[in-house]
């Protein structure tokens, strides 16, 4: 009798496992638009199916003349023509032998200028930046939304047309994303990460403020989702997905079990994961095939090799640590020289070491993207911090061409949106930057912004234009 009961239990268990395996396989496949033949989707990493859009009545924008840098690695095209309709590119190539559409359109003469893909910033905190007078005013979601709206204008004017918010106050970044999509405000496209997932006493839940040592409340902040143990990490990931997060953001330290559970749960739903990490925690994340690692903190060669092997993206954010070392953040009583009073940064921070890590990653073939991570004083530090990041990547060993690729095509690859962003090709989103001189010869020339188009909408124009009837 006992053997029969045990046998029956084994049969039920195997049946349950079979169902679970089938469900997991189905779920993994189902969330890939390529596997199920989904056509139009949302322009984010969630890839939610949407009805096809009728472009026939959308405005047409024509850029004539100038030199076109497609971003694909192909040689620049002189006397170029770029045509977009609505939010999509119709044509990008030589003007020789190609007719301009007869439909009403806006024509912009870009002769003598350079046309390239819009820039991407992979590490922005839309709601955390506060200025010199932060101590005088109580913060709120409304205040954060106002700051975020101003920040979007700063970034858009600089030619940045896509940003990834890597940890936000409640749902403010989502509402800003929606406002951009609805064209209520102008600025870059936003991919947001919801609340960052942290363990008790980990980075994001330390008892003192990072850098200034000021005591903090035991209550969890509104930018964090506290989770302990692998099943709670799964729940935390599901909650962010339920809130329409495009990415999941986690922070070290954590156990291997927590890390692997969080990554597995996100990937089950087709959502990528980024980690704010250091030391062995970065190595664990690379071995678990996380999608991107933020920061070069305490990074060794073993971690870099694991990143290369598993296709992990790398967002060094050199600027944030360079700023910390050189200037500090006086408005928050954080002195220059390094991180102080923090359990999560108990190792020396060296700018030279960070440059070495970036170069080693480049040599190993790791995809390197551009991210700024300005935590404080955004109104002062943007957009210059983005330009500084480009120059620091060059000083780490990347060529001008490689830095531009990191800011465009490679950034799109890390975002898992290379089919829609990063290069100027037919069918892709019309994210376009026009500058005064060739950035392939000197990356600093991306600062000479003449025209910015985000999602087909002109958001900055320093060039005269002719509107056709």
Tokens 């700018």 sit on residue: 351
Categorize the per-residue pLDDT at 215 as very low, low, confident or very high, splitting at 50, 70 and 90: confident
The predicted pLDDT at position 38 comes to 54
Q: Are 93 and 426 in contact (CB under 8 A)?
A: no
Task: Compute the distance between CA of residue 396 and CA of residue 356 in angstroms, rounded to an integer.
Answer: 7
Name the percent of the chain lying above pLDDT 70. Answer: 88
Residue 35, CB-side half-sphere exposure with 13 Å CA sphere: 9
Categorize the per-residue pLDDT at 209 as very low, low, confident or very high, splitting at 50, 70 and 90: low
Structure tokens at 312: 């992990």
Least confident of 11-15, 146-150, 375-379: 11-15
The predicted pLDDT at position 450 comes to 97
Give the model confidence (pLDDT) of 253-281 as tens digits.
Answer: 999 999 999 999 999 999 999 999 999 99
The CATH number of the domain covering residues in 60-117+428-467? 2.30.40.10
Categorize the per-residue pLDDT at 468 as very low, low, confident or very high, splitting at 50, 70 and 90: very low
**133 pLDDT above the threshold of 90:** no
Domain definitions of the chain by residue range = 2-30, 60-117+428-467, 119-414
Based on C-alpha coordinates, what's the Rg of the chain? 23
User: Mean pLDDT over residues 393-398, rounded?
Assistant: 98
Categorize the per-residue pLDDT at 25 as very low, low, confident or very high, splitting at 50, 70 and 90: very low
Mean of the per-residue pLDDT values for the chain? 87
Categorize the per-residue pLDDT at 380 as very low, low, confident or very high, splitting at 50, 70 and 90: confident
User: Mean pLDDT over residues 45-54, rounded?
Assistant: 94
Q: Are 244 and 190 in contact (CB under 8 A)?
A: no
User: Mean pLDDT over residues 409-429, rounded?
Assistant: 98
Task: Compute the distance between CA of residue 387 and CA of residue 380 in angstroms, rounded to an integer.
Answer: 13
Q: Which of 420, 356, 452, 367 is nearest to 116 (CA)?
A: 452
The predicted pLDDT at position 216 comes to 72
**387 pLDDT above the threshold of 50:** yes
Structure tokens at 228: 């302990």
Cis before 383? omega within 30:
yes
Superfamily of domain 119-414: Metal-dependent hydrolases (3.20.20.140)
Give the model confidence (pLDDT) of 169-186 as tens digits.
Answer: 899 999 999 999 999 999
Give the model confidence (pLDDT) of 83-132 as tens digits.
Answer: 999 999 999 999 998 888 776 689 999 999 999 999 999 999 988 766 77
The predicted pLDDT at position 466 comes to 53
**18 pLDDT above the threshold of 80:** no
Structure tokens at 96: 């020789």
Task: Compute the distance between CA of residue 357 and CA of residue 232 in angstroms, rounded to an integer.
Answer: 33
Q: Which of 435, 458, 432, 468 is nearest to 91 (CA)?
A: 432
């Amino acid at each position: 009798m006992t053997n029969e009961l045990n046998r029956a239990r084994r049969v039920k268990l195997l049946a349950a496992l079979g169902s679970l395996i089938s469900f997991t396989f189905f779920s993994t496949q189902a969330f890939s638009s390529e596997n199920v033949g989904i056509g139009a989707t949302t322009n984010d990493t969630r890839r939610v199916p949407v009805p096809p859009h009728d472009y026939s009545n959308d405005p047409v924008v024509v850029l004539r003349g100038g030199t076109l840098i497609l971003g694909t690695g192909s040689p620049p095209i002189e006397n170029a023509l770029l045509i977009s309709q609505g939010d999509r590119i119709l044509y990008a190539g030589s003007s020789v032998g190609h007719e301009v559409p007869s439909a009403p359109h806006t024509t912009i003469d870009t002769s003598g200028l350079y046309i390239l893909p819009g820039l991407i910033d992979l590490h922005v905190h839309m709601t955390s930046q506060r200025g010199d007078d932060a101590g005088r005013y109580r913060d709120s979601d409304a205040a954060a939304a106002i700051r975020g709206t101003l920040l979007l204008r700063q970034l858009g004017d600089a030619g940045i047309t896509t940003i990834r918010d890597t940890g936000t106050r409640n749902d403010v970044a989502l509402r800003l994303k929606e406002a951009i999509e609805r064209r209520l405000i102008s600025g870059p496209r936003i991919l947001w990460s919801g609340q960052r997932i942290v363990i008790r006493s980990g980075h994001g839940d330390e008892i003192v403020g990072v850098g200034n040592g000021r005591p903090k409340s035991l209550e969890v902040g509104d930018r964090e989702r506290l989770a302990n143990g692998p099943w709670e990490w799964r729940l935390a990931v599901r909650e962010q997905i339920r809130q329409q997060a495009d990415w999941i953001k986690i922070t070290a330290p954590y156990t291997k079990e927590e890390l692997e559970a969080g990554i597995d749960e996100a990937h089950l739903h087709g959502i990528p994961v980024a980690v704010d990490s250091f030391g062995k925690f970065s190595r664990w994340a690379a071995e678990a095939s996380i999608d991107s690692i933020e920061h070069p903190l305490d990074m060794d060669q073993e971690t870099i090799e694991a990143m290369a092997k598993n296709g992990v993206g790398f967002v060094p954010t050199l600027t944030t640590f360079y700023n910390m070392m050189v200037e500090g953040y006086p408005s928050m009583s954080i002195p220059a020289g390094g991180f102080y009073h923090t359990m999560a940064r108990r190792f020396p921070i060296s700018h030279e070491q960070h440059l070495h890590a970036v170069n080693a990653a480049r040599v190993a073939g790791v995809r390197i993207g551009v991210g700024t991570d300005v935590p404080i004083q955004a109104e002062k530090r943007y957009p210059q911090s983005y330009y500084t990041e480009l120059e620091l990547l060059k000083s780490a060993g990347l060529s001008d061409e490689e830095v531009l690729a990191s800011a465009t095509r490679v950034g799109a690859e890390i975002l898992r949106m290379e089919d829609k962003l990063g290069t100027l090709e037919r069918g892709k989103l019309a994210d376009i930057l026009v500058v005064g001189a060739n950035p392939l010869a000197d990356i600093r020339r991306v600062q000479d912004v003449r025209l910015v188009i985000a999602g087909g909408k002109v958001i900055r124009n320093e060039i005269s234009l002719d509107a056709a009837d």
